[in-house]
Structure 1
Amino acid sequence: MPSEAEPAPTANVAPAAATQIAQRPSPATAAVGSSSFVTSAVNRVGPAVVRIDTEKTITRRADPFFEDPFFRRFFGDSLPQMSPTEQLRGLGSGFILDKSGVILTNAHVVDNADKVTVRLKDGRTFEGKVRGIDEVTDLAVVKINAGSDLPVATLGSSSNVQVGDWAIAVGNPLGFDNTVTLGIVSTLKRSSAQVGISDKRLDFIQTDAAINPGNSGGPLLNAQGEVIGINTAIRADAMGIGFAIPIDKAKAIAGQLQRDGKVAHPYLGVQMVTLTPQLAKQNNNDPNSSIEIPEVNGVLVMRVMQNSPAASAGIRRGDVIVQVDGQPITSAEQLQSVVEDSRLGQVLQVKIRRGNQTQVLSVRTAELQDIS
């Protein structure tokens, strides 16, 4: 998941990157007749899909070589003149949530943008105002003033999506407006760590529907034309693999962003990895290992952040978290999910293994301030 807009095909442009199907259309049905389920789905949602163009100014760091008075005196105007600022343009997608002009997109599409322009499918353009950004889930809400009769995307439920369901991606990849691609849901609950963006707190829908730079923020639809996800990330090293934020997660975040402009995320303040007895044994058999690890299933604490809830509670590097509030913990993704679902200020009873000892520590969650 990219933290900034994905590259565009033109110079100086850097684009941003179901309800359970009762009767799934067969491939034969999809290909026969003057109209298909894909056409119907796109006709239902397509008018609500928007293109988002952004502009932002960045300040260049001057090259000391070119600014040195000695070289300026001898070489004068033959040295290049370095502009102190540069204008960057970005491109992404989004879709309209309600008739008042609320649009949902990715945070990395509009983050730090000085200007946001929203173009509707009918060609109208409006200035967009960013109402809220949540970098942790890569979601953002943009508002346009375009009257009260805008087309609205129909939202489905990602909790009912199954592997093998049809997946239709709609957006503006590489600047080609109103592009539609078709595939299936390849897998569910693909963690952000597995995708390679460990600073996010997400479980993605994985699809083989083609997603390209500029699709970011656009909808992933089911066969009924309901939004089941928000196209977000691609893997440059893997053709035909894309990832979408489940719409159920996005619904909850979008509501908070509209109301408060931000989302408060609880955190413990540890860097962690999933531990198995086999991995622990390999470590303990290594003569160069600096620490002996309990040979159990759990989450190994690799680092404790200063002034964090974990530090205040006494959690140390090398501890293995095996339970939270009586719930067994067997993976880093599971622990992250448990913390994310807790309340700010909630006291969690964290059972750890430290060497041959077992302890229960009380950890009071705090608000995550910076994910960088």
Structure 2
Amino acid sequence: MLDIQNIRNQFPILDQEINGKPLVYLDNGASSQKPISVLETWEKYYTTINANVHRGIHTLSQLATTEMELARQKVQKFINAKHEYEVIFTKGTTEGINLIAYAITNLIKKDDEIIISYLEHHSNIVPWQMLCERTGAKLRVIPMNENGILQIDVLDSWLNEKTKIVSLNQISNALGVINPVEEIIAKTRKLSNAFVLIDAAQSSPHLRLDVQKMDCDFLVFSGHKMYAPMGTGILYGKESSLNKLQPFHGGGEMIATCSFEKTTYADLPFRFEAGTPNVGGNIALGAAIDFMESVGLEYIQQHEHSLLEYAQRHLLEIEGLRIYAEKANRAGAISFNLEGVGISSDVGMILDKQGIAVRTGHHCAQPIMAYFDIAGTVRASFAVYNTFEEIDKLVEGVKKAQRMLA
């Protein structure tokens, strides 16, 4: 059993009132709060060892380099990468996807095919559309059904020698649906030579990741959704897959030699880490992983699953409330609307007056909203510090919103 109060005590932001009510923070799918250990790690870097990394022989630079490379090793272990140099620091999921979408350009030609799914965040749609515009490749979209479940049987006829990349999320940010990425990867390996990219922005806070078992070519996630600072993220890539790509950014750090006649590129991971990194944030990302491991990823997953089941059961007791993808296997979030309430933000504003923070709108997933013929949903998303009492407050808040908006 988790000591939830002890966990909550590590998050000072939770100990406050919003509009005169105790804060109930249920917007973790957008960004999680940060424990004291992460905040102190970030502050310690800037107050004791602030210096640029990899480029100095002086003591502070050496200390900063050691701490950031230690964080890289923590990420390697966290996702079970084979080599630490397969771990590349980024600003977040969006930059990681864009990096691959640009770095792969020289391998894509007219009429090649890129496969994504209906459940994607805009950041896993737009970069591939842009790649198609640059190269003449074609975008194919795995359909979903009314339960938010992907219809992956289409891959049996879609995957072929023209397929160059399959990119999809492990968990939908808008619906919380867990996608069968292992099955999709297995199909891809059997029927094509395509790269596979997994967007783990929503799964990294909730599930145990194992990139070797998953057998993906690339995996991306953001630090700020898993208790780390904003502006941090990871791109994992298989060594063999990364070595097929051109660098995305040019500049300092990513070169082996540079002259006006020719530049040669550095080895992994630095080839894809041009410029000064977010050193303090990257070190704090390592501290966030330490926090999650100290609690236990399996305990986090169990607790959040219990919260989701509890929330679904009690929300469905409200007449006229619809949960989207209700029958799908989900994690981390519940997305719903009230019958007769046309604008989800109205519900969100009433909840905010009660100190309850949720996300409303299209969640950067407009194709999903178009499928259901709605403008948006109310999304409550969970973290390890949330409680069943907070779910009760959410349910009562939704009932109040329903009375006010009916």
After TM superposition, the score normalised by the length of structure 1 is 0.28
Give the greater-gyration-radius structure (CA). 1
After TM superposition, the score normalised by the length of structure 2 is 0.26
**Which one has the bigger helix percentage?**
2
